Amino acid sequence: MGEEEEMPKDSHETKGLYAFFADSPREARRQFFDSEPEMSRRGFFTGAGLVATGGLLGMAVPFYANMPLGLVPAAFASEDVLIGKDGLTLLNDRPINAETPAHLLDDAITPTARHFIRNNGLPPEDVDAAGWSLTVDGLVENTLELSIADLRTQFEVVTMALAIECGGNGRAFFDPPASGNQWTVGAVGCSEWTGVRLADVLKKVGVKPGVVYTAHYGADTHLSGKEGKLPISRGVTIAKAMTDNVPIAFAMNGGALHKQNGAPLRLVVPGWPGSCSQKWLTRIQLRDIVHDGPKMTGTSYRVPRYPVAPGDKVPKEDFEIIERMPVKALVTAPKSDSTASREVEVRGHAWSGDRTVSAVDLSIDFGKTWMGADLDEPVNLGAWQNWRRVVSFPEVGYYEVWARATDSAGEMQPFAIDWNPKGYLNNTMHRVALRVA
Ligand SMILES: Nc1nc2c(c(=O)[nH]1)N[C@H]1C(S)=C(S)[C@@H](COP(=O)(O)O)O[C@H]1N2
Ligand SMILES: [Mo]
């Protein structure tokens, strides 16, 4: 049984509003926004303890069909859980999941306040950085226990800009919908991380022959509160772990890690699903089998090994682990649904797991014609690449700007979603709507 299936599938009367929108986006939307408010919301407010806020949504929300599936009505969002974050959209508050609107990801390096949050459990409270300890064990020549001071003094300290993208980024656009956090485009960020190379630490402990995989453990706790039950423990192939841009990081953008981003210590594994980048890191174990911790097995962070039709049921044994994330571009300016002048700079970022991006092209005519953007080299391997182009619109009116990246292996972003049951790896082109005045 996959780890995600162990979560009690109780009705929306007993679980939180966000969980309801995440697990049953279509049903949640129907109940919240359909035009018969009497019928549709009564059950929710009596059962979920949200009676006090019920009056705020006293009428049907117009044009709800245009809203991303799974978006929780803003009237209910309790954004105080996002202390130290700026402008993030809260998708869930237990556990906390929040994405960054595309136009707030415009910086070349993502500020800490704008790095998205994806939690599977509850972060540790009252973290003590000075007393923090990382154990490296399993199939090693000598087990090591390292404080953050040990890491700083015994290994070369490196700083790298590295992109982290959640495997489920883009899930909100799947049809039929996929359960899970309804990320639109903003479960991605590229901050500057300072730490030591995992590879250097592994060389020091001595990797025994036969090691194939790492196993990562963090100090967060399971939502159920069960002692010893882990919210997530994933790993990567030993080959990926030994690459030189996988840091064990103790600083973010030159300052402390944000509490929700894994303070005081985390892994950053660029190019692979964000879930590989264990936060609140306490232990790395080396194994001679593919790691089988929570969210490694079943359908978690896995996709069918063959193409499936939208909505198909796929046997669990036909799923395989996601490794590299696919090629993608994000438009960070102009902001979607805004008004632009006849000439405007379009810009954003592009990335492709374990590869580089070789071209970004733009279309303002729904893909009929394309024009190349100026694309920067990555500042280091694993960083996203910035691109820009001044675009002239032929006349006033409504436009969509489409961006399409092509990577060093010649792979290009698709028009349509390659559907999979859990809604991973959506790298369809980002489209920004503009009214040119
Ligand atoms: N300990 C721990 N590490 C974790 C997670 C978690 O829930 N617990 N979530 C993972 C997932 S699914 C993602 S996408 C990234 C997100 O990193 P961020 O919250 O810093 O953006 O952290 C990963 N590391
Ligand atoms: Mo994730």
CATH number at residue 354: 2.60.40.650
434 Cα–ligand 2 center, Å: 30
262 Cα–ligand 1 center, Å: 8
334 in the same domain as 303: no
Burial class (CB in 10 A: 0-12, 13-18, 19+), 110: buried
270 in the same domain as 137: yes
260 Cα–ligand 1 center, Å: 9
Residue 10 in any domain: the answer is yes
352 Cα–ligand 1 center, Å: 19
Residue 105 in any domain: the answer is no
Rounded Cα distance, 107 and 261, in Å: 18
Q: Is the CB of 115 under 6 A from ligand 1?
A: yes
273 Cα–ligand 1 center, Å: 10
Q: Is the CB of 234 under 6 A from ligand 1?
A: no
Q: Is the CB of 233 under 6 A from ligand 1?
A: no
Rounded Cα distance, 183 and 415, in Å: 18
CATH number at residue 174: 3.90.420.10
Residue 103 in any domain: the answer is no
Residue 277 in any domain: the answer is yes
209 Cα–ligand 1 center, Å: 30
- Closest residue by Cα to residue 171 from 157, 159, 187, 158: 187
Of 296, 321, 346, the domain-final residue: 321
269 Cα–ligand 2 center, Å: 12
Contacts of 424 (CB under 8 A, 6+ apart): 167, 168, 171, 273, 301, 302, 303, 322
366 in the same domain as 265: no
Contact (CB, 8 A) for 213 and 289: yes
Q: Is the CB of 278 under 6 A from ligand 1?
A: yes
242 in the same domain as 140: yes
135 in the same domain as 241: yes
Which residue has its alpha carbon closest to ligand 1 atom 19? 117
Q: Is the CB of 119 under 6 A from ligand 1?
A: yes
Provide the residue count of the chain.
437
Contact (CB, 8 A) for 299 and 316: yes
- What's residue 289's pLDDT? 98
Rounded Cα distance, 352 and 31, in Å: 38
390 Cα–ligand 1 center, Å: 36
66 in the same domain as 200: no
* Three-state SS sequence of 88-150: CEEEEECCEEEECCHHHHCCCCCCHHHCCEECCCECCCCCCCCCCCEEEEECECCCEEECHHH
Name the residues around ion ligand 2, CB cutoff 5 A: 118, 166, 274-275
285 in the same domain as 258: yes
- Closest residue by Cα to residue 87 from 99, 97, 75: 99
Measured from the Cα of 301, ligand 1's closest atom is 12
Of 285, 304, 321, the domain-final residue: 321
Which ligand neighbours the alpha carbon of 277 most closely? 1
Tokens found for residue 41: 């919301």
**β-bridge partners, 213:** 237, 287
- What's residue 38's pLDDT? 36
- What's residue 29's pLDDT? 59
Rounded to a whole number of angstroms, the CA Rg of the chain reads 22
Residue 192 in any domain: the answer is yes
Residue numbers in the chain where pLDDT is lower than 70: 1-22, 25-79
Q: Is the CB of 280 under 6 A from ligand 1?
A: yes
- What's residue 24's pLDDT? 72
Measured from the Cα of 274, ligand 1's closest atom is 14
424 in the same domain as 368: yes
368 Cα–ligand 1 center, Å: 39
429 in the same domain as 363: yes
Measured from the Cα of 117, ligand 1's closest atom is 19
Residue 303 in any domain: the answer is yes
- Closest residue by Cα to residue 401 from 359, 358, 370: 370
Q: Which domain holds residue 50?
A: 1-71
Measured from the Cα of 281, ligand 1's closest atom is 1
Q: Is the CB of 112 under 6 A from ligand 1?
A: no
- Residue by residue, DSSP assigns 212-235 as -EEEEEES-B-TT--TT--S----
pTM for the complete prediction? 0.86
269 in the same domain as 170: yes
**Pairing mode of beta strands 188-197, 247-252:** antiparallel
Of 321, 348, 379, the domain-final residue: 321
Residue 35 in any domain: the answer is yes
252 in the same domain as 351: no
Residue 344 in any domain: the answer is yes
Which residue has its alpha carbon closest to ligand 1 atom 11? 275
Number of domains in the chain: 3
255 in the same domain as 351: no
**β-bridge partners, 266:** 249
Ligand 1 pocket test, candidate residues 7, 85, 277, most atoms within 8 A of CB: 277
Tokens found for residue 228: 């010893």
